[in-house]
Amino acid sequence: MSIPDMLWSGWGDPERAAHLPDSVTDLLRELLGVREEPDQPVKLAEIEPPAPRLSARILADVVGDEHVRTDDETRIRHTRGKSTPDLLRIRAGDARTAPDAVVLPGSHDEVAELLARCSRHRIAVVPFGGGTSVVGGLTPETGGFAGMIALDLRRLDRLLCVDSVSRTATLQAGLRAPRAEELLNEQGFTLGHFPQSFEWASIGGFAATRSSGQASAGYGRFDEMVVALTLATPRGTLEVGRSPRSAAGPDLRQLVLGSEGAFGVITDVTVRVRPLPETRAHEGWLFRSFSEGTSAIRALAQDGPLPTVLRLSDETETMIGLARPSELGGPKSGGCLAICGYDGAPAEVAQRRAKVRALLRSRGGEFLGDEPGENWAEGRFSAPYLRDALLDAGVLAETLETAGFWSNLPRLYDAVRLTLTHELPSSVVMCHVSHVYPAGASLYFTVVTAQGDDPLARWQRAKAAVSDAIIEAGGTISHHHGVGVDHRDWFVREAGPLGVEVLRAVKHRLDPEGILNPGVLIPPAG
Amino acid sequence: MSIPDMLWSGWGDPERAAHLPDSVTDLLRELLGVREEPDQPVKLAEIEPPAPRLSARILADVVGDEHVRTDDETRIRHTRGKSTPDLLRIRAGDARTAPDAVVLPGSHDEVAELLARCSRHRIAVVPFGGGTSVVGGLTPETGGFAGMIALDLRRLDRLLCVDSVSRTATLQAGLRAPRAEELLNEQGFTLGHFPQSFEWASIGGFAATRSSGQASAGYGRFDEMVVALTLATPRGTLEVGRSPRSAAGPDLRQLVLGSEGAFGVITDVTVRVRPLPETRAHEGWLFRSFSEGTSAIRALAQDGPLPTVLRLSDETETMIGLARPSELGGPKSGGCLAICGYDGAPAEVAQRRAKVRALLRSRGGEFLGDEPGENWAEGRFSAPYLRDALLDAGVLAETLETAGFWSNLPRLYDAVRLTLTHELPSSVVMCHVSHVYPAGASLYFTVVTAQGDDPLARWQRAKAAVSDAIIEAGGTISHHHGVGVDHRDWFVREAGPLGVEVLRAVKHRLDPEGILNPGVLIPPAG
């Protein structure tokens, strides 16, 4: 396997683990009332996944012996995703949901054949890209099945073609984002998709979960980039997308996007690409309040021009960020930090930047220079490392997100904050807007709290309450993390009974035995 | 009924009928070899629709007697749509597919109750908005049903609310486009959706068929404007859209958009609106060839800025337009006419216009001034009137369209043109690009030919051949007209067997008796 393994008990490259200075640890403990001794993960070698329930023979026939793994370590590394609850469980040595085997197909046809066989033998299948789900997307309910395999797509790692006239590229699903960027960059293009999971996530995962990247203001969401895709299902292959747009019936691409492995396995996607930008710049702005800042970025979203990156932290997130004054060129007295990023040709960027600056100034923004922007850009993928360090220090950190229409955003923001602070006293709740649309925006919350005696139960209670609050306040249960198992009960409320029936009908047609990620997205049938 | 009736045998307001000067008639006859005597429609009073097959009682119980119409004239006016084959049939007095009754519900709940009753009694239902379908969307296959009703939505004609913060508006489905614009304009907003059918088409129809307007470069397609919608089905109501964008599963909005009344009846949609532009300007450009022009508009679509309206006629369409030299300020020697339109604030328009002009000049465009643009804008909704006059003169005129990726556009263009000129010798085949995307564009063809002995059969042969050619050349069977019954067999090839199965599963779940527009979009089950 040419792709490095992610830290089994946490995020990313073990060499890049974050270390909290004692002063920060002390501060957090003081602030959050952390009393626990540091909570260290068990040793990998000490974890014993359950005995495999299935013979790998029928799968090895398809992909070859060397591409079926049943060793404990590989199974543990494919157990669950990277939500904080996932980490709490695996750090405690709980590998009860480990797949019986990890299978690595090398082609679309092998995927299709594996699905047909698994369907015949009632073996549950978890499509596995980067393994970065934070919503239980890799933890299906496999009761009643003969076994469960993780279908690791890392061998589907090629850039299949670039159409430089149409500015599209066809990428295999298992391609990791950094490698995809590298291959496209070599031909002068970029995808421009940089979610926080960028360094580990896969192209197929982006499509299956409707990922949205930090530069979505400029490049769009991943689901907006996709113009065609191929889906392997137990009942055959679905190929959709003959044209960027069409009036030939419902848009089947939009039925596959967001299907989270429950309808089939996406094996390749054709996406819109753009010329590699000549320059990339970031800058910081300060607003007096979240509502002033929100109104300013709404003006950009509705009347333009849009920066490539646009995010606005609330007062708390700004304050926590300011605990490191070096990042912001000196302490400020409150307010809300906004980051604007600009990709493009120098002249175009200069023009756009000037217009954005004029608008933000007219809306009360104070220009902070490039440094806060460049600092943000430098650390943009590192937050998950910090979470591991916090977990080690007895602190629980987790994120959740929603989106809604602009007019409803204040209500949604209040509902989430009030619920979290009620459920988790002595916690820090921070928020930012990081994805904007003409009609609305996302809200992304980070919660930091003491782990307490039973951090998992504590978090799950709070998470359920806040999910209720989101649905009751008219928000969507996820703007870009997805549904998985964790959000399913609320997604059911969001989609309504008839919406769920429609999705179940689609699933039943494509996956009549229900082997694909059972319980992910929609409740198992019956 | 406060909405004026459309000409039963043709297009639009009878008072605005076009009259061809004798010189043009002579020219067309010369060019196309028309030998027939003028073909006049029969008289409305002479047409006898089949005897109604059902008692209106169970429907009148829901909506009241006065909202169930069974008179011949109303039934004839709800027979089929406005394609040239539809007109040929109705002009010949063929009302065999007339609905047994026309029912006018006054609310979403009445629609839902009607669908439940029709489902129980196996009465086929055709949702009827503006009645402007050109793909057989109003001509279901009603064999095996107890009867068929047209569900005329004209009473659902209200603007339900405007959210000026989020810049969205909720419109009932039966609202006609001009009235919707009027109501929005009163509040300072515009939808910006101006398809050729604008003067007659309905909001629900736009959503059900994925309509695209002439200003799509600036305002987007209708399916891109929709952020939420309500669908009444025989099994209950589906409400979708809590946020402009979401990662909560597949996008169910995109499953309803383009469903053409086969899954349910759209009763309201919430759409993005924009501030009413202060200025609106149009201008003309000339390119030496269609390929030079295509390359120039591709540059605008990919790198911006985009005009609000952007269309490019091929050599033939340009030449035919030039037959009226007053429109273009003097004859030109060949080339391809492009129209650019700009909506917006004066300063923004001036800036954008300057950039577009610089780019078009650098790509070989010759600026023709505003007159060709303003002429185009003035006549933008009048082509269907011209078709009636041509039919009267023994000439058959029809349009068809497709879309594809930029790199495939030349192949698609050639395939359609060659097939049409082969199937219809002595015809004039014209084309324009009128909807552009970063990855591709639409191609809209107009064919003018002699009616011959059996114009319907002649056209249907040619249309089948050109539909084959579109699918074989990798295009979509429709960019904005939709599928209906006419495109269904080719849509089946485009979606593939599994795609059709998925759509059939969705239909079966929402409409188990199959009463909704049977045979439209997908072949009837069994």
Reported as a pLDDT band with limits 50, 70 and 90, residue A1 is: very low
* Inside any domain, residue B202: yes
Partners of A264 in the beta sheet?
Answer: none
Q: What is the pLDDT of residues A323-361, one digit of tens each?
A: 554 444 444 568 999 999 999 999 999 999 999 999 999
Count of domains observed in chain A: 3
Contacts of A183-188 with CB under 8 Å at 24 or more apart are A183/A159, A184/A159, A184/A273, A184/A276, A185/A276, A187/A162, A188/A164, A188/A275, A188/A276
Q: Is pLDDT of B5 > 90?
A: no
Q: Compute the average pLDDT of residues A70-74.
A: 97
- Together in a domain, A163 and A267: yes
Q: What is the pLDDT of residues B94-110, one digit of tens each?
A: 999 999 999 999 999 99
Q: Is pLDDT of A309 > 60?
A: yes
The residue whose two tokens read 């060129």 is A329
- Together in a domain, A318 and A331: yes
| CB contacts, 8 Å: A227 with chain B | 405, 439-440
Domain boundary among B230, B259, B275: B275
Q: Tell me which chain A residue has its CA closest to the CA of residue B403.
A: A243
- Together in a domain, B167 and B264: yes
**pLDDT confidence of residue B329:** 46
The answer to whether residue A144 neighbours chain B at the CB level (below 8 Å) is no
**pLDDT confidence of residue B1:** 45
A274: buried, middle or exposed (CB in 10 Å: 19+, 13-18, 0-12)? buried
Q: Tell me which chain A residue has its CA closest to the CA of residue B511.
A: A502
* Inside any domain, residue B101: yes
With an 8 Å Cβ cutoff, are A242 and B509 in contact? no
* Inside any domain, residue A51: yes
Give me the residue from A247, A249, A259 closest to B479, CB to CB. Answer: A247
A221: buried, middle or exposed (CB in 10 Å: 19+, 13-18, 0-12)? buried
Portion 52-71 of A in contact with B at CB < 8 A? none
The answer to whether residue A45 neighbours chain B at the CB level (below 8 Å) is no
The answer to whether residue B238 neighbours chain A at the CB level (below 8 Å) is yes
Reported as a pLDDT band with limits 50, 70 and 90, residue B20 is: confident
Sheet holding A159-163, edge to edge: A159-163, A168-172, A265-272, A226-233, A236-240
Give me the residue from A235, A237, A440 closest to B244, CB to CB. Answer: A440
With an 8 Å Cβ cutoff, are A502 and B506 in contact? yes
| CB contacts, 8 Å: A236 with chain B | 497-498
Reported as a pLDDT band with limits 50, 70 and 90, residue A27 is: confident
Domain boundary among A352, A378, A404: A378
- Together in a domain, B198 and B121: no
* Inside any domain, residue A408: no
With an 8 Å Cβ cutoff, are B272 and A502 in contact? no
**pLDDT confidence of residue A57:** 86
Closest Cα of chain B to A275: distance in Å? 9
Please tell me the distance from the alpha carbon of residue B157 to that of residue B177, in angstroms, as a whole number.
10
**pLDDT confidence of residue B415:** 98
Of A14-28, B165-179, B408-422, give the lowest mean pLDDT range.
A14-28
**pLDDT confidence of residue A58:** 87
Q: Compute the average pLDDT of residues A111-115.
A: 98
Q: What are the DSSP calls for B137-200, one per residue?
A: TT----TTSSEEEEEE-TT---EEEEETTTTEEEEETT-BHHHHHHHHHHTTEE-----TTTTT
Q: Is pLDDT of B24 > 90?
A: no
- Together in a domain, A191 and A271: yes
Give me the residue from B166, B252, B508 closest to A499, CB to CB. Answer: B252
CATH number at B181 reads 3.30.465.10
Closest Cα of chain A to B137: distance in Å? 12
Give me the residue from B250, B476, B522 closest to A258, CB to CB. Answer: B250
For an interface test with B, the pick among A246, A399, A507 (most B C-beta atoms closer than 10 Å) comes out as A246
**pLDDT confidence of residue B4:** 77
Rounded to 10 degrees, what is the CA torsion of A95, A99, A105, A110? Answer: -170
With an 8 Å Cβ cutoff, are B498 and A437 in contact? no
Domain boundary among B152, B184, B203: B152
Q: Is pLDDT of B208 > 80?
A: yes
Please give the mean pLDDT across all residues of chain A.
Answer: 94
Reported as a pLDDT band with limits 50, 70 and 90, residue B39 is: confident
CATH number at A371 reads 3.30.70.3450
**Which domain does A370 fall in, by range?**
279-378
Q: What is the pLDDT of residues B209-246, one digit of tens each?
A: 999 999 999 999 999 999 999 999 999 999 999 999 99
Interface contacts (A, B; CB < 8 Å): 261
Q: What is the pLDDT of residues B122-170, one digit of tens each?
A: 999 999 999 999 999 999 999 999 999 999 999 999 999 999 999 999 9
- Together in a domain, B366 and B401: no
Residue A361: how many other CB atoms lie within 10 Å: 13
The answer to whether residue A86 neighbours chain B at the CB level (below 8 Å) is no
Q: Is pLDDT of A261 > 90?
A: yes
Give me the residue from B249, B440, B506 closest to A483, CB to CB. Answer: B249
Q: Compute the average pLDDT of residues A4-14.
A: 92
Q: Compute the average pLDDT of residues A167-175.
A: 98
Reported as a pLDDT band with limits 50, 70 and 90, residue A30 is: confident
Give me the residue from A302, A474, A508 closest to B167, CB to CB. Answer: A302
The answer to whether residue A403 neighbours chain B at the CB level (below 8 Å) is yes
With an 8 Å Cβ cutoff, are B479 and A245 in contact? yes
With an 8 Å Cβ cutoff, are B248 and A483 in contact? yes
* Inside any domain, residue B329: yes
Closest Cα of chain B to A320: distance in Å? 28
Closest Cα of chain A to B209: distance in Å? 6
- How much of chain B is in helix, strand and coil states, percent to nearest 5? 40, 20, 40
- Together in a domain, B148 and B181: no
Please tell me the distance from the alpha carbon of residue B148 to that of residue A145, in angstroms, as a whole number.
47
With an 8 Å Cβ cutoff, are A487 and B248 in contact? yes
| CB contacts, 8 Å: A478 with chain B | 246-248
Residues of chain B with pLDDT > 90, as a percent, come to: 89
The answer to whether residue A526 neighbours chain B at the CB level (below 8 Å) is no
* Inside any domain, residue A76: yes
Q: Residue A464 has what DSSP assignment? A: H
The answer to whether residue A193 neighbours chain B at the CB level (below 8 Å) is no
Q: Compute the average pLDDT of residues A223-242.
A: 98
Please tell me the distance from the alpha carbon of residue B503 to that of residue B513, in angstroms, as a whole number.
15
pTM surpassing 0.80? yes
- Together in a domain, A255 and A211: yes
| CB contacts, 8 Å: B437 with chain A | 244-245
CA distances from A207 to A477, B142, B148, B232 (A): 18, 40, 42, 30
Residues of chain B with pLDDT > 70, as a percent, come to: 97
**What's at A135, amino acid-wise?**
V
The answer to whether residue A355 neighbours chain B at the CB level (below 8 Å) is no
Q: Read off the tokens for A472.
A: 């009751």
**pLDDT confidence of residue A328:** 44
Please tell me the distance from the alpha carbon of residue A491 to that of residue A166, in angstroms, as a whole number.
36
Q: Compute the average pLDDT of residues A88-109.
A: 97
Q: Is pLDDT of A507 > 90?
A: yes
- Together in a domain, A232 and A312: no
Q: What is the pLDDT of residues B305-362, one digit of tens each?
A: 999 999 999 999 998 886 554 444 444 568 999 999 999 999 999 999 999 999 999 9
The answer to whether residue A488 neighbours chain B at the CB level (below 8 Å) is no
**pLDDT confidence of residue B23:** 80
Q: What is the pLDDT of residues A269-300, one digit of tens each?
A: 999 999 999 999 999 999 999 999 999 999 99
Q: What are the DSSP calls for A307-370, one per residue?
A: -SEEEEE-HHHHHHHHTSGGGGTS--SS-EEEEEEEEE-HHHHHHHHHHHHHHHHHTT-EEEES
The answer to whether residue B221 neighbours chain A at the CB level (below 8 Å) is yes
* Inside any domain, residue B320: yes
With an 8 Å Cβ cutoff, are B245 and A407 in contact? no
Portion 282-341 of B in contact with A at CB < 8 A? 298, 302
With an 8 Å Cβ cutoff, are B405 and A248 in contact? no
Closest Cα of chain B to A254: distance in Å? 6
The answer to whether residue A271 neighbours chain B at the CB level (below 8 Å) is no
Angle made by CA atoms B485, B487, B490, in degrees to the nearest 5: 130
Please tell me the distance from the alpha carbon of residue A84 to that of residue A455, in angstroms, as a whole number.
10
Closest Cα of chain A to B238: distance in Å? 6
**pLDDT confidence of residue A526:** 62
The answer to whether residue B162 neighbours chain A at the CB level (below 8 Å) is no
- Together in a domain, A182 and A252: yes
What is the three-class DSSP state of A277? coil
Give me the residue from A238, A407, A478 closest to B499, CB to CB. Answer: A238
With an 8 Å Cβ cutoff, are A439 and B166 in contact? yes
Q: Is pLDDT of A494 > 60?
A: yes
- Together in a domain, B370 and B413: no
Q: Compute the average pLDDT of residues B486-491.
A: 98
Q: Compute the average pLDDT of residues B516-520.
A: 98
Q: Compute the average pLDDT of residues A151-162.
A: 98
Residues of chain A with pLDDT > 90, as a percent, come to: 89
* Inside any domain, residue B489: no
**pLDDT confidence of residue B418:** 98
The answer to whether residue B20 neighbours chain A at the CB level (below 8 Å) is no
- Together in a domain, A53 and A122: yes
**pLDDT confidence of residue B497:** 97
Q: What is the pLDDT of residues B245-289, one digit of tens each?
A: 999 999 999 999 999 999 999 999 999 999 999 999 999 999 999
For an interface test with A, the pick among B191, B246, B486 (most A C-beta atoms closer than 10 Å) comes out as B246
CATH number at A53 reads 3.30.43.10
**pLDDT confidence of residue A332:** 57
Closest Cα of chain B to A392: distance in Å? 31
The answer to whether residue B479 neighbours chain A at the CB level (below 8 Å) is yes
Reported as a pLDDT band with limits 50, 70 and 90, residue B36 is: low
Portion 407-436 of B in contact with A at CB < 8 A? 407-408, 435
- The more confident residue out of B22 and A456 is A456
- Sign of the torsion angle spanned by Cα atoms B183, B187, B188, B191: negative
Reported as a pLDDT band with limits 50, 70 and 90, residue B112 is: very high
